[in-house]
Amino acid sequence: MAAALPLALADAAVGTALLAGGGILWKLRPKSRTGLIMAGTGICWFAGSLVGAAVFLHRGPLVHLHISYPTGRLRRPIAVGTVAVAYAVSLFDLVAANSWVTLGLALFVAIAAVDVFTRTSGPARKAGGPALGAALAFAGVLALSSANRLLGWDADLAVLLTYDAVVCLVAVVLVADLLWGRWSDATVADLVTVLGRRAGTEGLRGQLQRALGDPSLDVGFWIPEQGRYVDDAGRPLDVPVGDERRAVTRIDDHGQPLALLVHDAVALDDPALVDGVASAARLAVANAGMQAEVRERVAELAASRRRIVEAADTQRRRLELELASGAEQRLQRIDRLLDAFEREVAEVGAESVELRGVRAEVSGARADLREFAQGVRPAALGAGGLRAALPLLAARATVPVTVAVRVGRLPPAVESAIFFICSEALANVAKHAEATSASMEVSMELRDDADEVVVTVLDDGVGGADPRGSGLRGLADRVEALGGTMVVSDQPVAGTRLTAVVPVGSGTGGEMTR
């Protein structure tokens, strides 16, 4: 009789804790089924206190509470099976009272709890610590009660009080965790960290699914031109209507629609979690928009620089034609007139020193004009491309130069850039390198998006070329304007290596080595 009073008080305290906790959660977390299940457990607990045949009835909803926390939903097959077995066993007191059945149920609860903990993600995983601890504690007292009967410990009162204490403590811990737990904040913090490492909205849907533990979550992005939300593949987003299991969370930016989340109704039942996830998604979408704008500006700048280079090359070709058709032809006519005049003078047996001087000046002017035209754009480059122009350039060098050209005709701007790279490199060899030989190689490397021309100029001089010099810096600017790169470095032993990579369209020529 003395033992009955403490046990009755303990039973009343447990039932009250379960009913009160369930009611609080049901009111404050209506989208979660945890409160409803806990309240049902309390009702079954009091039913067992009043009716002896229902003494084990509370075990079904209590196992359901542990395995489904914090959403109240069962997703894993082993969790569904364990809860079904618990409900079935609790309905029959003779079966539930069997020590081996109780021990088996304890084992199933422990296995299911560990499986749920290791397989979940998002808020459920953040809340998994208290849930796992509660489930294992309950499984432990079930196993303890079985051991008491199987091993004949004769400690019924102590085991029953321990059982009541664990169930009461579990109820208090789960209520407190669901109401004041910081796992919602941790979920948002992890989500912001992950999204901060990613560029754009690619993968945003998957990150939100993992963060919230909702594999059914979908994301729609607002397209003002279309006046609708589309998914990450550009398809119109299917927004559910009248489905209580699905919820829609709209994300706005200063009152303007930005994105839409379609998710499980309980995945975002916490207002703080809703606000945090919405802010993180808003930040990701806004950053993606800014990054897209920056990429567009960079692309526009690169295209503008390339157009400037191409326009300059076009102007050089026009100037070359004007020189050939204008000043060069006039000097040729003067030369022919001088030839005729010289023949007339010769017929009368006269000789003119002034005439020879004029002829020398005209010849010098024509040589200067050809040299100037060669500097603007060599005629050989326009007629035969790099295969024709680079050997001529090498022939005028101050040191022996080996030439290997393994490309065909290229866009004019690319050909000009490569020619002037080689010309400037050989000029530096002549001025500063103190080299005895040099080599030039032009080859093509195939890429998936665009082929690349690789230019390499080597010498065996003293090295020390300064890439910040005006000549090399100007060449680097030209190459970068075409979307390429240029590197000048000293060789391991001696000399200088200049390497330039210029992207072009597909198409290569044959191989030519000199």
Complete DSSP assignment for 357-408: HHHHHHHHHHHHHHHHHHHH--HHHHHH-HHHHHHHHHHTSSS-EEEEE---
What's the pLDDT at 254? 77
The confidence score (pLDDT) of residue 511 equals: 40
Q: Residue 316: what pLDDT?
A: 59
Are 64 and 126 found together in one domain?
A: yes
List, in sequence order, every residue forming a beta bridge with 85; answer none if it has no partner: none
pLDDT value at residue 65 = 93
> Is residue 23 domain-resident?
yes
Is 96 in the same domain as 162?
yes
In order of 68, 223, 428, 475, the CA distances from 431 in angstroms are: 81, 60, 5, 17
- 265, 294, 323 - which closes a domain: 294
Domain check: are 23 and 172 in the same one? yes
Place of tokens 């020619």: 419
Phi and psi for 352 in degrees, rounded to 5? Answer: -125, 115
Non-local CB neighbours of 362 within 8 Å, separated by 6+ positions: 331, 334, 335, 338
Residues 390 and 498 in one domain: yes
Looking at the DSSP assignment, which residues form a beta bridge with residue 488? 498
Residues 38 and 165 in one domain: yes
- Inside any domain, residue 173: yes
Residue 471 near residue 425 (C-beta atoms within 8 A): no
What CATH number does the domain containing 491 carry? 3.30.565.10
Pairing relationship of beta strands 438-445 and 401-405 according to DSSP bridges: parallel
Question: 493 burial class (0-12, 13-18, 19+ CB within 10 angstroms)?
Answer: exposed
Looking at residue 292, what is its pLDDT?
A: 56
Q: How many CB atoms lie within 10 A of CB 388?
A: 16
Same domain assignment for residues 16 and 99 = yes
Q: One-letter amino acid identity for 293? A: E
Q: What pLDDT was estimated at residue 178?
A: 80
Q: Is 475 within a domain? A: yes
Residue 109 sits in the same domain as residue 233: no
137 and 193: one domain?
A: no
Is 316 inside any structural domain?
no
pLDDT tens per residue across all 514 residues of the chain: 456 788 888 889 999 999 999 999 888 887 778 899 999 999 999 998 888 888 899 999 999 998 988 778 787 889 999 999 999 999 888 888 899 999 999 999 999 999 888 877 655 566 678 888 999 999 999 999 999 989 988 888 899 999 999 999 999 998 988 887 665 666 666 666 666 555 555 567 777 777 676 778 888 888 887 788 887 777 888 888 777 778 888 888 778 888 888 887 766 666 666 677 777 777 777 666 566 566 666 666 666 666 666 656 665 556 565 555 556 666 667 777 767 766 666 666 555 656 666 666 666 666 555 555 555 557 778 778 899 889 988 988 889 999 999 998 888 888 888 888 888 888 888 888 888 999 999 998 877 667 899 999 999 888 877 777 767 777 787 788 778 888 888 876 678 899 999 888 544 444 433 3
Helix (H), strand (E), coil (C) string for 194-219: HHHCCCCCCCHHHHHHHHHCCCCCEE
- What range defines the domain where residue 42 resides? 4-181
Give every CB contact of residue 407 below 8 A, 6+ residues apart in sequence. Answer: 386, 442, 443, 444, 453, 508, 509
- What six digits make up the tokens of 480? 């970068």
Nearest to 43 by CA among 25, 62, 26, 24: 62
Residues 6+ apart with CB under 8 A from 398: 429, 430
Q: What integer pLDDT is reported at residue 1 of this predicted model?
A: 47
- Do residues 140 and 8 share a domain? yes
Distance CA 511, CA 507 (A): 13
Say if 359 falls within a structural domain: no
Please report whether residue 74 resides in a domain.
yes
Look at residue 512 in the predicted model and tell me its pLDDT: 38
3-state DSSP assignment of residue 453: strand
Residue 403 pLDDT: 94
The total number of structural domains that make up the chain = 3
Same domain, 84 and 219: no
Residue type, 172: V
Tell me whether residue 339 is exposed, middle or buried, using C-beta atoms within 10 angstroms of its C-beta: 0 to 12, 13 to 18, 19 or more. Answer: exposed
21 closest CA partner among 43, 41, 39, 44: 39
Q: Are residues 65 and 172 in the same domain?
A: yes
Residue 393 lies inside a defined structural domain of this protein: yes
Residue 174 and residue 192 in one domain: no
In a domain, 355, yes or no: no
